[in-house]
Structures are given as C-alpha cells and as structure tokens.
Structure 1
Amino acid sequence: MLSLSNVHVSYGPIKAVRDVSIEVKEGEIVALLGPNGAGKTSLISSVVGIAPIASGRIAFDGHEISREPTEAIVARGLTLTPEGRRVFADLTVGENLRLGAASRRDKAGIAEDLEKYLELFPILRKRYASRARMLSGGEQQMLAIARSLMSRPKMLMLDEPSLGLAPRIVDQIFELLSSLRSQGLTMLIVEQNANEALSLANSAYVVASGSLVFSGTASALKASGEVMEMYLGLEGQE
C-alpha cells in the first residue's frame, strides 16, 4: 500500500534521511523505531509532503505521491497524527472531530463515523462540548487519533502516540490501536516505546542517524539482541 524507495530528506546541508526504503502492506501494522534524532519524523513527514524529499520515490495505493501537496495525499486516504497531538485548543472536542472530516461531503457517513469513534473513545463523548485545551494529555491524544480517523483514511500514520503520557494511559492508547488493527486499518507507527509498538506490529524498521539499520518482522527484531540493545536500549529475546 505504501512504498518508499531510496528516499533522501535534507534540510540545507543536514541530511536527515539517507537512502531509506520501507514498505507497508495493506492491513499490516508497521513499527518505525529508533533513538531521538534518528530521522523518523522527517521520514514520515516526507510521506505526507511536509518535508520534501531530495531524491527517491514514494508511492501510495498505486500512485506516486513524491511531489504531491499534502492536501492531495490526504484526499487519497493517507493521514498523519502528528507528534505532540496538535489539537485545536480553543475548539471543542466536537468541533475538532468535525474538522477531521472537512475534506468529506458525505454528511450521513460523517455522522455515522462520529458516532462510531465516540463509541470507541467514550471519554470524548463525555468531553464532547469541552474545549480541547481542557483535556488531559491522554485525552488530547485520543482526540488527535479520532480526528485523523474522521477523514476515513485507508492508512493511518502515528508519530509518537505515547510521548509524554503516563504508563496507564500508554496502555489505553495501545489498546485502542489494537482495536483499530482488528478492524483492518493499515498503520505505520513511529514510536520510542519499542516494546509496546512491537507487541502490535507485524513488521518493523529501525533507523539511526538517518539510515536504515534493520528491516524485518517484529518477532525477528525482538529476537535481535544486538539491534535491540545498540539502537533501542533494550534486551533482545534471544
């Protein structure tokens, strides 16, 4: 469904991503892991047109999107939930959710999805009329994910969904992602919490200093003591 081939991303003289190729198949959950500053956010930002690629090719759902504007990429069904949540703080939960469906014209479908995600995220129903700035960090993260889902994406990318959240809330977020997986949603998850991400993922990639250092199944990564310890600070399951 999503294919990156030999992608390079640069910010002036700084090479943030170097010759990275990844693939996400339909219905698959892929974890993109690595230490701080590895180039993970730059890589997924390039996918949605926020960070232009210097060279390489990006294709989604059979179409090359390497040079398409962000709006066109979202219209194709590829949505990013960015790091730091970035909800509209002075708008209500309901207004945030409706903005997630701004590109859609199917009023009945929007109403159906709104009810669907209020059912999936019951705290958002309770907070429906509250300003987003009044929500806790975990509630804002749930709102950010639900807002992305309101665009009815074919594939969802999430950048650090557990960042800054308490362990109990992290567990809730990954339970929600597991529920989305059971519904067949394709996802690419950028995450520093490698254990949580790998418990959910089919496949995994690890980047360090902008370069790919591992690609394979999630179980193969968990069994790779050297990669787990050197790049993720964890013990493998050899």
Structure 2
Amino acid sequence: MTAHFHQFPCRSDNYGVLVHDSATGSTAAIDAPEAGAVLKALEETGWTLTDILVTHHHADHVDGIPALKAKFPRIRVVGPAAEAAKIGGLDLGVKEGDEVLVGHLAAKVLATPGHTAGHIVYWFEEAGALFAGDTLFSLGCGRVMETPLATMWDSLLKLSQLPGETQVYAGHEYTVSNARFALTVEPGNAVLKERAGEVERLRAAGHPTLPTTLSLELAANPFLRCAVPAVQAAAGLPGGDPAAVFAVLRERKNRA
C-alpha cells in the first residue's frame, strides 16, 4: 500500500488531511481550510502538494486555495462541478461516478447533497478511506443548508453502504457535542456510551476523535440509525419512515 494520510487541525475546529502516494510522490490536500496549516503539514511531512480535492464551496473549506496556488502554481484543484461557480481557482469539476487519481491512488467521487446542494465526498476504496467533508461526522452529520432534509438522509444512506471497515475522515472536530446529543436519543446504546467516554478522554488529552470507522458510526450515530426502533421512538415516530425520523432529529439537533 502506497497510501499515507496525515490529519492536522486548522482554524477553530476544522481538520485538513494530506493524502500521499509514496510510489509517485503525489500529495493531495483534502479541502484547503487555511493555507498556513496546510503548508505547515507539508513541511512536517516533507511532501510536495500536487492536488487539492474540494468537497464543497463553504469558505472554511476553500479559503486556502489562492495562497496555495500562488505557492504551488502547478497544483490541480478538483471539486464539485455543480459548485464550480462558487469555488475560485477550480481546475477540474467532478460529479458522481467520476474517479480522481492522486498519483496511483484512485478516489471515487460520490455525490452527497445536503449540507450544500453540490457536496461531494472522496472514497479511496483500495486504501479504505472516506473523506466525508461536512456530510458525515463522528456521531453526527452536517447541518442541512441547501436541500430538503430528505436529500441529506439519502446521502447518508449512500455512505452507509460502504464497507464497515472504512476509515471516515470528516471536516470538523464536533464529536463531543455530537456524543452528548446522541445520548439524548439512545441513552441505552452501549456502543454509544463507550464511544462517548472515549471521546471525552481523547479530547481532554488533546487528541483528535477522527478518523472513525463506518461500522462504529452505524452502531452509534443516531443519524445513521433512523430505521432502528429505539431511535424512531425517541423521535416520536415509532415505526416511522426513516427519512421523517432523520428530519425530526436533525431539526432537534439544530436547536440543541
């Protein structure tokens, strides 16, 4: 395996990740929240930036692009074709079903509208890693801002079909607050309670709670468990349509 991942904090609660192919030397930044943090991570690893893979147009995911393009004029910026007009410096627009190469590492592009209408994620199937942007967080999901709530549920369902051992990298460190909300939905979920305790310990020690695994999220994340009777009951919709359950929970989380 030639894939190597380096996760680093930036801004107030964002994460950046470098994806490196040791066979070719190619390195991609997943989003560009802050140029300085990306440059520091490159210095620490000794890698040279060749690509930026953008998940969506929000400023806290693209603000670093101009400075990084100035530093590395030959880099390629890849992002959602549906949001091309909103992402300055985009070189290649991609959509569902496309494949992006970082050296020899192949990423499948999955459309996950919800947080934004054109949001995409990058699934490095062979390397077993998903870069979920602001669609899926550990024990949570992104706020739905540009689509109907049911659209985000469909996107989460799509991600739930990926292999359980998939390592999930997300755009933000939100897991402590997500865990507290999740426990109000499923207080009796033993996996969730164990994960919540682990999360508190990790953050108290200054460690990240990401990446997580899809199997852990399927067992503990209420936003992936809207077909589970206990979660439906907590939403006040026993036996209800999972999309409707999701809508209730997401609105409740917005107010939390």
TM band (smaller chain): 0.3 to 0.5
The structure with higher relative contact order (CA 8 Å, sep 6+) is: 1
TM-score for the superposition, normalised by structure 2:
0.36
TM-score for the superposition, normalised by structure 1:
0.37
